[in-house]
Amino acid sequence: MISRRSIAFAVACTLLGGPAWSASPNAIKMFDTDNDGTLDLAEVKKAATAVFAKLDPDHDGTLDARELRGRLTAKELAVADPDHDGTLTLDEYLAVVEQRFNAANPDKDGTLDAKELRSPAGRALLRLLR
């Protein structure tokens, strides 16, 4: 369960312009449902699914460039959009999440630790989860 303190920290960092999810130990604590100190792909996808729902206020089942602002550049959106409709469905969003997870997991052990989340690839993944 996510503590009020973790939520307050994340909100404060976001409101103050800081990268709330770049603090990898906090990201691990927030999304590590099995409490093993790492994030696996299932935990990351679960968090990403919740973020997708939050980012889709019009509930049309897609995210456009405006809704993805700060998470994907226009170029990254174009690459991630296989049907070239200018939006991402949940499945397309989760495919990007999985690609970034794999990029952040150079040892290919199936989990991300705090060090891996602090890498450029890890920070790119965390941008999708904030």
Question: Would you put residue 105 in left (φ > 0), alpha (ψ -120 to 50) or beta?
Answer: beta
> Counting Cβ atoms within 10 Å, is residue 39 exposed (0-12), middle (13-18) or buried (19+)?
buried
pTM, 2 dp? 0.80
pLDDT at 107: 97
Scan for tokens 């550049």, then name that residue: 73
| pLDDT tops 90 at residue 21 | no
86: Cβ contacts below 8 Å, ≥ 6 apart: 64, 65, 77
pLDDT of residue 24: 61
Instruction: Spell out the alpha helix ranges (H) of the chain.
Output: 4-15, 24-31, 41-55, 74-80, 90-103, 114-118, 120-129
**Tens digit of pLDDT for each residue in 53-106?**
999 999 999 999 999 999 999 999 999 999 999 999 999 999 999 999 999 999
Closest by CA position to 126, among listed 35, 56, 30, 37: 30
**Rounded to an integer, what distance in angstroms lies between the CA atom of residue 1 and that of residue 115?**
23
Checking if the pLDDT of 7 tops 80, the result is no
Residue 3: closest CA among 42, 34, 38, 31? 31
Place of tokens 């690459």: 79
Share of the chain above pLDDT 90, in %: 78
pLDDT score recorded for residue 26: 85
109-119 pLDDT, tens digit each: 999 999 999 99
